[in-house]
Amino acid sequence: MNSPYHHGNLREALLARAIETLSEKGVEHLSLRALARDLNVSHAAPLRHFPTKTDLLNAIAVEGVESLVAATDTATESPPGPARLRAMMLAYIDWAITHAELHRVLRNPDVMRHASDKLTELLTAFADRQKAEISAAQEQGWRSNEDPAVLFLHLVSLTAGTAIVMTEDIYRDPLTTPKIRNKIATSLDLFLSQRK
């Protein structure tokens, strides 16, 4: 458990402790009163930032998705096409591995059920960006005769599925980190390479 909160940004401290609680114990054990107790503040203090548990859950989801989207922005350093798709997919998976607790929280249906309009807009914009990158790659001849909707489904399934597998100890632990990275890249390249 975190050491008691004394000063600084209470909102950030509440979010960090809530993510820990959700990852360790699940949404049913999360309460604003318990967070206040963990951070050694009054029971009313969290209510200034999150009037309800739903507000807290939505804030976690929004911050998590914003963090994920920002991590994939580095892919724009690659030229448009398969190389940029690969960079985006690897950035997504790297983010999930680095932020495993937050990634688990975002996969929690009880958290995502509280999606606000802002969260929906973030997710829609991210999907639109992925679709635009697929279109740019197809314009360069990558899988140009295939249905973009099918390619999008494959890209999302492969990226999100790999991120889930790589954040579950049962799959991740038998391999060293360099071997994991190599296998992830090889898996993505099977999708990104041209069909013979």
* Confidence at residue 157, expressed as pLDDT on a 0 to 100 scale: 94
Provide the CA 182 distance to its chain's centre, in angstroms.
Answer: 21
**pTM exceeding the 0.95 threshold for the entire prediction:** no
Contacts 24+ apart (CB under 8 A), 160-168: 160/92, 162/89, 162/93, 162/187, 162/188, 163/92, 163/93, 163/96, 163/97, 163/103, 164/96, 164/107, 166/93, 166/96, 166/97, 167/96, 167/97, 167/100, 167/103, 167/104
Angle between helices 82-98 and 117-139 (to 10 degrees): 140
Question: Which residue type does 16 have?
Answer: A
Each residue's pLDDT, cut to its tens digit, for the chain (196 residues) gives 444 555 569 999 999 999 888 878 878 888 999 999 999 999 999 999 999 988 898 898 898 999 999 999 988 888 899 999 999 999 999 999 888 888 887 887 877 777 788 988 999 999 999 999 999 999 999 999 999 999 999 999 999 999 988 887 776 555 556 677 788 888 899 888 855 4
DSSP single-letter state for residue 42: -
* Confidence at residue 46, expressed as pLDDT on a 0 to 100 scale: 93
* Confidence at residue 113, expressed as pLDDT on a 0 to 100 scale: 77
